[in-house]
Homo-oligomer: A and B are copies of this chain.
Amino acid sequence: MSKEKPLILITNDDGYQAKGIKELTEAMKGLGEIIVFAPDSHQSGMSSAITTSFPIRARQYHQEEGLTSYMCSGTPVDCVKLALNMFVNRKPDLVVSGVNHGSNAGISVLYSGTVAAAIEGCVFDIPSIAFSLCDFTPDADFTTTKVVARKLAQKVLKEGLPKGVCLNVNVPVGEVKGIRMTTQTQGKWVNEYQRSKDGIDREIFWMTGNFENWETENEKNDEWALANGYAAVVPVKIDMTAYDLIRELKEWEL
């Protein structure tokens, strides 16, 4: 295998057995040498959590020409960190995460393990893309998402991405009209808990809720794109400093 072949690292948050990561791996085939390094269990909603108090483990479970696959006991970000620190012999050219079963549009960027893995790739200064399909069922149809993923991966392998920015891509169910560069919808989840009881009548709370969109139709944000049949691509910046506020805050007398 030529040393010039791109190296692609694939991970997710639904675990190595999820259909989404298998389909994403299929979609990347032929674009380069592939390493899958994915959680051995469900890690949804893990954001950029890292494991510091426990050891983590990893083992190879598959190998074929151009593809080596590992499962890891850590979070999605642990997977990216461990793979890049200890399991690759050169810096990957691309990190792709997903395909997540379920939307990661809007504010989900903060909570998603899928997006966090792409953010972590970006921390390592590697062009990185998170992919999600707006269908959380285990046997979701990824046909269209695979086309979108391959197209974007090819483009990013060719063009790169600016330092400190990764892409969060969400794909609607059904026919896709096109790929739209857009913004993260502002809003938040509401009615987030359901009060219930455990088996011996003690109070428990289950996470639930629905997304409240704070923006109007005019915004043409990621939720708008998805609702109108477009795959939504949001460039995500990993430096969260609010630069435009520093001057104002400096005027505070403290």
Chain B residues whose CB sits within 8 angstroms of the CB of A186 once the complex forms? 164, 239
Interface residues of A in 184-200 (CB under 8 A from B): 184, 186, 188, 191-193, 195-196, 198
Contact B86 A205 (CB under 8 A): yes
Task: Please choose the segment from A3-11, A54-62, A138-146 that sits at the chain B interface, where 4 or more of its residues have CB less than 8 A away.
Answer: A54-62
Contact A48 B50 (CB under 8 A): no
In the complex, whether A233 has a CB less than 8 A from a CB of chain B is yes
Contact B48 A52 (CB under 8 A): no
Chain B residues whose CB sits within 8 angstroms of the CB of A124 once the complex forms? 188
Chain B residues whose CB sits within 8 angstroms of the CB of A181 once the complex forms? 246, 249-250, 252
Contact B47 A47 (CB under 8 A): yes
Chain B residues whose CB sits within 8 angstroms of the CB of A184 once the complex forms? 239-241
A235 and B204 CA atoms in complex are apart in Å by: 35
Chain B residues whose CB sits within 8 angstroms of the CB of A240 once the complex forms? 109, 184, 236-238, 240
Within the complex, the shortest CB–CB distance from A69 to chain B, in Å, comes to: 17
In the complex, whether A224 has a CB less than 8 A from a CB of chain B is no
A246 and B243 CA atoms in complex are apart in Å by: 19
**A173-217 contact mask (Cβ, 8 Å, vs B): 1 or 0:** 000001101111010100111011010001111110000000000
Within the complex, the shortest CB–CB distance from A195 to chain B, in Å, comes to: 7
Interface SS of A by simple majority: mixed
Contact B237 A182 (CB under 8 A): no
Within the complex, the shortest CB–CB distance from A174 to chain B, in Å, comes to: 19
Interface residues of A in 210-254 (CB under 8 A from B): 233-243, 245-246, 249-250, 252, 254
Contact A55 B196 (CB under 8 A): yes
On A, residues with C-beta under 8 Å from B are 42, 44-53, 55-58, 77-78, 81-82, 85-86, 107, 109-111, 116, 119, 123-124, 151-152, 155, 159, 162, 164-165, 178-179, 181-184, 186, 188, 191-193, 195-196, 198, 202-207, 233-243, 245-246, 249-250, 252, 254
